[in-house]
Each structure stands twice: as C-alpha cells, then as structure tokens.
Chain A
Amino acid sequence: MRVKRAISGWLVLLVVLHATVIFAGFFSPYDPAEQDRKNPYLPPMRVHFVDARGRFHARPFVYSLRLHEGTFDQYEEDTSRPLPLKFLVRGASYHLLGLLPARLHLFGVQDERIYLLGSDSYGRDQLSRFLYGGQVSLLAGLLGAGVTLLVGLCVGAVAGYFGGWRDDLLMRLAELFLALPWLYLLFALRAFLPLAVSPLQAFYLIIAVLGAVGWARPARLVRGVVLSAKERDFVRAARGFGATDAYLLRRHILPEASSVLLTQAAILVPQFVLAEMTLSFLGLGVPEPVPSWGSLLSSLQQYSVLASYWWMYLPALIMLPFFLGYLGLGGELQQRREPYKIGKEPGGLR
C-alpha cells in the first residue's frame, strides 16, 4: 500500500506541473512573443506585502522597476509606485488548449507590466515564455518517448517472439543504433534539410529523430521480457489449445512488458525533453519566436548574459521539479515491479 501512495504523490506533482503548462495561456500573464523593447533584461520583480513605509497590505503588490541613474543595466525598485496584483484579469487573447478563445489570466497588474521571472533581450516575459515553451518541450519529450516505445515494443516483440533470423537482424540493428552518436546524426540530418523550416516541421523533425535513435534500448528490454514470457507454462498451454500468435502476443505476452514500458517511459520523457533542449540550445530546434525550454536557455551562450543577468538561469531551476517528478515516478514504478530486488518493502525475499 505504501508504494501505491508514493506513486500517486509523484503523479500528483507531475499532474499539477503539467496543468500549468497545458493551461499556459491562463497561468502566464502575457503572450510569449509580446515584446516590451523599453525593458530588456529586467530582473524578476519581488512580490511584497509590506510597503516602503512599513504598512501591511492584504493584497500583494510589486514595485515597477526603473533604471538606476548613471547605469544602463542596473534596475531598482520605484517605491513610489506600488502595483497591486489583480487576480483573474482580462488580458492578451489566447486559445485554451489551442481551441477555446479566451482572455482570462490568473494574475496581472494595471497599466504597467509584471515580470516575475524577469524579461529577455526583447523585453518578453520569461514566465510566459517558460510556460509556453514547456508545451513544446514536454510534448516533444512525451511524443518522442511514445514513438520510441512503440517502435521498441514492435521490434522487441517480433525479435523475441519469432526469433531466428528476425531476432538476429533486429538485434544487430539495435546494437548499431545504440552505438550511433545521436547528436552528430542529428547535425547530419539537419544539414540535409533547408535552413529555414517552419516551427511545426522542426517539431516533427525533432520527434522523428528522437524516436529513430532511441528505440534500440526499449526494444532490447521488451525482447528480454517476451523471451521469458513465451516459455511460461500458461502461454504454452494456451498455444496447445489453439491460440494464434496474435492472441498470445496481445493477451499473454505483451501485458508482461507493460510495467517495463511504463518505467522506461518515465525515464525516457525527461531524457527526450533534455534532448530537445540541447537541439534548441544549439539553434537546431523549434525556431523563434516560438519559445521552447532550450531556446529560453540559449541566450546563456553569450558571456555577457551569463555574467550579468543571473535570472536568465531561473528557467533551468524551475525545470528541475518536472524532471525530478518523472525520475521519482520511474523509481517508484521500478520498485513496484521488483519490490524484492530493492528490498525496502516488507514481504521481500530476505
């Protein structure tokens, strides 16, 4: 029972985090591409309850920022102008889930703009860009993992179940793909394609490449499970009663691979998100102005940004709970699959 509760804990964390990304339009105050050229590299605004004169306000507020005199990149809080936070305000229009037109935002301020995570070189809100970027990056990770697992499942099932030359061929191929340096393969692939591709094309390309490179490991895992499952007595018995190959695979053999696949999925998703980020960081991912987590961090390639604007790191920090959630879930799934191997749970073989 304890294991089950732990799984739901990680799941709840992931569901909450993903909800903020899925409903990015609602949770982010602005459109991710909306520029504010007057305010580049604005540091994050602090949320206050107590104003400069020591008075407590029930409604949280921020101070607008102004340039420190005599500098060009040092900002300070303008304590004369508190900007009270308004909740459920109407603002920039967006489409909820890509379908429903809406204007409602969780929070905002009147007249001025609020930057809780600071702004980038064009004065775009980093928080909005993070949430919208998560849609691209997490979807790439999930779809990439899905494609990978699907291909891995099919290849592993065929190799393990039918065996013989099919097994040899597919497994040698898998070893070849395991040995490929995927980043350079990606560079080569990208070099073949025209320089300017639309964001959607770039997105599909990333998923295709991620899937094409990653299938080998799950395929080998599934093959192992299938090899042991097909020799089980009840599988042999079912065959003895006239079960077809398709039935045996579907009802008797592949269900045993499901826990392996789930665990793999939980491990693969963050890997693929990171892969997408690597691509976008190098400028091979989804092009501007569509944000993704990789392109959010790509401004850190410039030394001046790295040295002067520490808040440009913040997105990387906020990504951590996402990855930890997936890895924690993967660990729990693994433990549920093989409780006695980890040996923490009662009833283990020790």
Chain B
Amino acid sequence: MGSILEVRDLRVAYGPRGRGAFRALDGVSFCLESEEVLGVLGESGSGKSTLATSILGLFRANTIVATGAVLFEGSDLLQAKPDELQRIRGKRISLIFQEPSMALHPTMRVGRQVQQVLAAHGMKGRSALNQKTREVLETVFMEETERIARSYPHQLSGGQRQRVLIAQAIACGPSLVIADEPTASLDPTTQMEILGVFRALRKRLGLGMIFITHNPALLAGMADRLLVLYAGRVAELGPAEEVLASPKHPYTRSLLESIPPLLDGPRDGNKKKLPSIPGDSRPSSLPGAGCPFEPRCPERMDICKTRDPQLVNVSQSHTVSCFRYENQ
C-alpha cells in the first residue's frame, strides 16, 4: 500500500490581489493511500470544493495564487503542463461535481456524454466505444440502460443523473475518484442508493476516493479516514471511526453534536433544541491572527488569539490542530 496522492501545504486564494484576497485553502496537507477512502468534512466556505478542483488544476478564473504541491504518482500536478493535466483528468483522476443537473451538457444524450470521456482519452472505433459505454452504464444502472443512454439529462431523475456522472467518472478506470458532495441535491432515499453505488464500485474497482460532504452521517461506514476542514485549514485528520467516535478538535465535536440524534432513542415529549455552533465562518468574521475557529470555540484559551495552532499527533495516525493537545 503506497500512497497515490500527497497534498503538501496547498494554498489557494481567490479574488482581488493584495489584502482583499480570500484564502480558500490555507496550507492543507494530507496523504491518500491507494484504495483508501478519505472523507472530507466541512461547512460551506471551508474550502471543500476548492480542494476538489485544485487537485486537478481546475482553477476558477479569479484564482490568484496556488502554491504547494499535489503529488500524484510521483509528479506534481500543480506544475504539470496543460496537456499532461488533460491526459490525467478523467483517466487517472476523476472528479464528480456536486450538481448532477448542472454538470451534464443539457443538449447531449447522456450515453454520448459518457462516450465522449472515453473518446477524449484515446479510445477509437465506433463499436468499441459503444460496447464500452454500455458496459460502463451497466455498472451503475440495474436496468433500462439502453433507454437511459438515449435520454437527455432533463429526462432523468436526480439520482439517475448522478449515476451518469459516476459512470463518466469511472469510464476510463481511474485510480482516484474525487466526489464533491455527490449527494447534496438528492433526497435521503436516493442519497442512500448513491452511497450504495459508491460502496459497490469501491469494492469492485479498488478505487481510491476523496469523498467530500458536509454531512458527517454519510461518512460513517464509508470513509477509512476523515479530514475536517475549517476556513481552509485542516482541523483534524484521523481514522474515520476514531474521529467520529471520539472527536478531538472542538470544531469536530461541535459539528458532530449538531447532527440530529437517531430516532430509536427514547422520545420524551419535551423536545430538546439541537445544539448549533454560534457565529459563522464568513471571511469577514474570521480573526486576523490565531486559530480561525477561536471566535466560535467553546473551549478557547488565551493563546488561541495570538498564535496559529500546529498539527499535533494525538495518536499515531490522528492529528489535530488545537492547543489543547499541544502539551500531551
């Protein structure tokens, strides 16, 4: 088990140059072993989507800096030439966008859209392409593959569109799939179905995955390790079960407390209000120095205001960026 992806000190900023720039990713580092699923957890604006697109060098027009390194199979994708990146995107690393209704071309049949991915990576011959397209679609759809392949995106349900995106992503047999909130716009039943598709594919194809979400509940039983992002920084990184069972960072803890409890507990009449994290993480409410979570932190200390916390190991594979663990 070697690592296939290593992200080192990745920094990405948007917006006007100089003081007004918004740092979406502020020194993110992590490693991904092959066939491992890394869950990335964070609220809106924490840099989840930026992380997903930056790994593939898909920067928005207003990106002003991107430093650090994204090492994939030994080469740095941030330094790669455009045509090298083009050969990697979709073939070695695939990205599943968050809105299945927006990520498909509205006036092209979905079968053809899957086929185009294969064609973009050098597959030739009409019959070979058709054959492979059918095979790929059959891995994500139980039935009606033919009808779905001939449909336009607007004729499909949200779950079906998401499956088409997954088919596109796995068409060329990548070793890494990045899924950016793949279930955000689906209803809970369909969410579970799509998660099932991911689990099955992972088992069958031995994919490495980065699974990005704001919903910790989706990651249980799915992710091997968990990365918690806050304001573009790594708050906590560790084995999924450990992080979910005994979160160390105050932010992770507050986040997990905000999930509605399961329904099988005793239901007494007086409803308890669900805890929430006070404040927000908008750029304007982030402190200029110190820990970015300090203004909202229930366990803040004096030192948090002045110094940046460093990542501390709490166990061999579990790191937290919080001063509470610094002296242990």
Identify which of residues 205-238 in chain A touch chain B, using a CB-to-CB cut-off of 8 Å: 231-234, 236-238
Q: Please tell me if A239 contacts chain B, counting CB pairs below 8 Å.
A: yes
Q: A233-B102, A236-B58 are in contact. Are A242 and B117 (CB under 8 A)?
A: yes
Q: Please tell me if A110 contacts chain B, counting CB pairs below 8 Å.
A: no
- A234 in complex: contacting residue of B56, B105, B169, CB < 8 Å: B105
Q: Please tell me if B200 contacts chain A, counting CB pairs below 8 Å.
A: no
- A239 in complex: contacting residue of B89, B99, B104, CB < 8 Å: B89
B86 touches A240 (CB 8 A): no
Interface residues on A, range: 10 to 19
Q: Please tell me if A74 contacts chain B, counting CB pairs below 8 Å.
A: no
Question: Within the assembled complex, what's the spacing in Å between the Cα atoms of A233 and B52?
Answer: 14
B97 touches A236 (CB 8 A): yes
- A241 in complex: contacting residue of B94, B107, B108, CB < 8 Å: B94
Distance of A237 from chain B, by nearest CB (Å): 4
Q: A240-B95, A241-B117, A241-B168 are in contact. Are A251 and B103 (CB under 8 A)?
A: no
A242 touches B105 (CB 8 A): no
Interface residue SS majority, chain B: loop
Q: Please tell me if B120 contacts chain A, counting CB pairs below 8 Å.
A: yes
B120 touches A243 (CB 8 A): yes
Q: In the complex, what residue of chain B is closest to A244 when comparing beta carbons? A: B86
Identify which of residues 97-119 in chain B touch chain A, using a CB-to-CB cut-off of 8 Å: 97, 99, 102-108, 116-117
Q: Please tell me if B272 contacts chain A, counting CB pairs below 8 Å.
A: no
Distance of A123 from chain B, by nearest CB (Å): 58
Q: Please tell me if B129 contacts chain A, counting CB pairs below 8 Å.
A: no
Identify which of residues 40-70 in chain A touch chain B, using a CB-to-CB cut-off of 8 Å: none
Q: Please tell me if A163 contacts chain B, counting CB pairs below 8 Å.
A: yes
B120 touches A240 (CB 8 A): no
Q: Please tell me if A247 contacts chain B, counting CB pairs below 8 Å.
A: yes
Query: Which residues from B are CB-within-8-Å of A336?
Result: none
A232 touches B121 (CB 8 A): no
Q: Please tell me if B154 contacts chain A, counting CB pairs below 8 Å.
A: no
Distance of A258 from chain B, by nearest CB (Å): 11
Q: Please tell me if B60 contacts chain A, counting CB pairs below 8 Å.
A: yes
A251 touches B105 (CB 8 A): yes
Which of B53, B56, B58, B103 counts the most A-chain CB atoms under 10 A from its CB?
B103
Query: Which residues from A are CB-within-8-Å of B87?
Result: 242
Distance of A27 from chain B, by nearest CB (Å): 41
B104 touches A237 (CB 8 A): yes
- A242 in complex: contacting residue of B60, B88, B165, CB < 8 Å: B88
Question: Within the assembled complex, what's the spacing in Å between the Cα atoms of A247 and B83?
Answer: 13
B67-109: CB near A (< 8 Å → 1, else 0) gives 0000000000000001000111111001101010011111110
A255-286: CB near B (< 8 Å → 1, else 0) gives 10000000000000000000000000000000
Query: Which residues from A are CB-within-8-Å of B108?
Result: 251
Query: Which residues from A are CB-within-8-Å of B53?
Result: 236, 240
Query: Which residues from A are CB-within-8-Å of B107?
Result: 255
Identify which of residues 159-177 in chain B touch chain A, using a CB-to-CB cut-off of 8 Å: 165, 168-169, 172
Q: Please tell me if B142 contacts chain A, counting CB pairs below 8 Å.
A: no
A237 touches B103 (CB 8 A): yes
Query: Which residues from B are CB-within-8-Å of A234?
Result: 102-106
Q: Please tell me if B128 contacts chain A, counting CB pairs below 8 Å.
A: no
B90 touches A241 (CB 8 A): yes
B86 touches A242 (CB 8 A): yes
A239 touches B120 (CB 8 A): no
Query: Which residues from B are CB-within-8-Å of A251?
Result: 105, 108, 116
Q: In the complex, what residue of chain B is closest to A242 when comparing beta carbons? A: B90
A240 touches B104 (CB 8 A): no
Q: Please tell me if A252 contacts chain B, counting CB pairs below 8 Å.
A: yes
Q: Please tell me if B1 contacts chain A, counting CB pairs below 8 Å.
A: no
Q: In the complex, what residue of chain B is closest to A255 when comparing beta carbons? A: B107
Q: Please tell me if B61 contacts chain A, counting CB pairs below 8 Å.
A: yes
Query: Which residues from B are CB-within-8-Å of A163?
Result: 61
Question: Within the assembled complex, what's the spacing in Å between the Cα atoms of A43 and B78?
Answer: 79
Query: Which residues from B are CB-within-8-Å of A233?
Result: 97, 99, 102-103
Query: Which residues from B are CB-within-8-Å of A231?
Result: 60-61
Query: Which residues from A are CB-within-8-Å of B116?
Result: 238, 241, 243, 247, 251
B90 touches A240 (CB 8 A): yes
Question: Within the assembled complex, what's the spacing in Å between the Cα atoms of A243 and B116?
Answer: 8
Q: In the complex, what residue of chain A is closest to B165 when comparing beta carbons? A: A237
A252 touches B105 (CB 8 A): yes
Distance of A241 from chain B, by nearest CB (Å): 4
Question: Within the assembled complex, what's the spacing in Å between the Cα atoms of A239 and B117?
Answer: 10
Distance of B241 from chain A, by nearest CB (Å): 31
Distance of A243 from chain B, by nearest CB (Å): 5
Question: Within the assembled complex, what's the spacing in Å between the Cα atoms of A255 and B107?
Answer: 10
| 29 A–B contacts, CB within 8 A, in A order | A231-B60, A234-B104, A234-B105, A234-B106, A236-B53, A236-B58, A237-B103, A237-B104, A238-B116, A240-B56, A240-B90, A240-B95, A241-B90, A241-B95, A241-B116, A241-B117, A241-B120, A241-B169, A242-B86, A242-B87, A242-B89, A242-B120, A243-B120, A244-B86, A245-B82, A247-B116, A247-B120, A251-B108, A255-B107
B interface residues (Cβ-Cβ under 8 A, vs A): 53, 56, 58, 60-61, 82, 86-91, 94-95, 97, 99, 102-108, 116-117, 120-121, 165, 168-169, 172
| Apart from A241-B94, A244-B86: 5 A-B pairs, beta carbons within 8 A | A236-B58, A237-B95, A239-B58, A240-B97, A244-B120
* Chain A to chain B: the 8 pairs with minimum beta-carbon distance, closest first: A242-B90, A241-B90, A233-B102, A237-B103, A240-B95, A242-B89, A241-B117, A242-B120
